[in-house]
Every structure is written in C-alpha cells, then in structure tokens.
Amino acid sequence: MIFDHIGVNVSDTQASKAFFSAALAPLGVSLVTEVHGWVGYGKDGKPDFWFGAGAQPHTPMHLAFKAANRAQVRDFYAAALAAGGKDNGPPGIRAIYHPDYYGAFVIGPDGHNIEAVCHAPEA
C-alpha cells in the first residue's frame, strides 16, 4: 500500500460503522480504535482506514479494499449487501483492467463506491 492511512468524512458515523464492520469482516479488516469521534479500521492492530462525522461528508469516492482470494470478494459482496449496501457490480472478472482482476462493487451509506478486489488467478 502506498498510503499510511486514509480518512473520509461521513454523514452518520454509527451507520457507517455498522456497514463497514459487516462488509469488511470477510476481508479480515475490523475496528481497531475510536478516537475523538473517528473510527479506525485495519488489520493486525493498525488502523489504515478512518472515517468520522465531518462538517460535510466527502462527495462519493471509490474505495477499493484488497482481498486475499476470490472467495473473500464474494463474501464481501454478500456481507455488504446484507448490511444495506446497494449493488454496483457483482463479483466477477474485470478483464478491461487485466485478465485476473476479480472484483465486486457496492454503494455504501454515503454513496461511496466500495470495492473488494483480488488480483490473483483462481486457485
């Protein structure tokens, strides 16, 4: 990863917390900490992805999370939809990017396009 961390303003921290807790769990990403109204998610105790209520939520962004395998992409998609996300592209190959690009897309609580992607070929 080229970023140390990223922060996003959201309109409802608790709604986003419920959504991302469910959607990112299949990827091994979980709540690490909460500080001054901001929530930090990551792996191995390091919060890489932060969000909190800001003066104004960011306009919709594309946020792509790395999946270790294609099963995680499918599990992310199912969990995100169950948590209230809206379909924006079911799990599948996106050959336009490269032959093994396997991703799934959902629209999250603030309209962000949330993706899980695996770049590895099918095992």
Residue 114 lies in a domain: yes
Which structural domain, as residue segments, surrounds residue 18? 6-118
Residue 74 lies in a domain: yes
**Model pTM score:** 0.93
- The count of structural domains within the chain is 1
Residue 54's pLDDT is what?
81
Residue 123 lies in a domain: no
Residue 88 lies in a domain: yes
Residue 1 lies in a domain: no
Measure CA of the first residue to CA of the last residue in the chain; give whole Å.
23
Residue 1's pLDDT is what?
61
pLDDT in tens, 50-87: 999 887 888 999 999 999 999 999 999 999 999 999 99
Query: Residue 86 sits in a domain of what CATH number?
Result: 3.10.180.10
Residue 84 lies in a domain: yes
Which residues, 6 or more positions from 81, have their beta carbon under 8 angstroms from its beta carbon? 87, 106
